[in-house]
Amino acid sequence: MMTKREFADVVDIVDLRVDAKREDIRQLVVDATNHGFIALTCLKSYNPFVFQTLKELGRRDQVKVVGGAGFPTGGEKTFVKVASVRDCIADGCRELDITCNIGFIKSHWYDKVEYEMRSIVSASEGLPVKFIIEISYLTGDEVKRVCELIIKSGGSFVKTGTGWGPNPTTVEHIRLLKSQVGNEIGIKAAAGIRDLETVITMQKAGATRFGISRQSAMQILSQLPD
């Protein structure tokens, strides 16, 4: 059984709802810092408010804030994603979650996918970059190829999904990713992860980080021992 500390150490607690209000994001910050979650994520327009809240609470260094680019479709031009990365870094973000261009992957336009990945890693100033591949859309061969490109481009993690895709992440998805990346990069499981059993099973299958909604993360946390 995980402890509260072990759970919080591998979870990015998130609120990416389009209707999330300012008080919801403040609660996200409070929960993230009170319970020691490794990172928090929200829509990037709220990032300045997040850092202001962390400063007011005196907890600026207690949690990493994850910046995003391309969320949720991945369809922006590369220069827009690069500009978003630089903007997130200027805000103070310490990790980056980037949605890949899924249409380009499905088109097997891998030179463009690689160019974008390299451009983003180059702009990241050495911060960890998690590339979101929306695995539910991809074939096994496409997963294999995009994992190769993430490793080749210097990405730190492959992330399963945004939570806005057609299906939740499964344990089989994690096993497939583990078979492709081994220990070369991390695997972040996200999209539809709502219970402790799923977290434990996915961790055993190879997931090293999780993206979980604030409500689900707090519910899971309440079930764990200190």
Indicate which residue of 97, 106, 141, 204 is catalytic: 97
Please confirm, yes or no, whether 61 is among the known catalytic residues.
Answer: no
Who contacts 58 (Cβ-Cβ below 8 Å, separation ≥6)?
none
- What is the rounded distance in angstroms from the CA atom of residue 65 to the CA atom of residue 87? 13
Query: Is 159 a known active-site residue?
Result: yes
188 is catalytic: yes
CA of residue 5 relative to chain centroid, distance: 20
> Is-cis flag, bond preceding 72, omega within 30?
yes
What's the start-to-end Cα distance of the chain, in Å? Answer: 11
Strand partners, 99: 132
Determine which one of 130, 188, 195, 204 is catalytic. Answer: 188
Our separate counts of H helices and E strands in the chain read 10, 8
Q: From the candidates 159, 178, 195, 204, which is the catalytic residue?
A: 159
Residues that are catalytic: 97, 159, 188
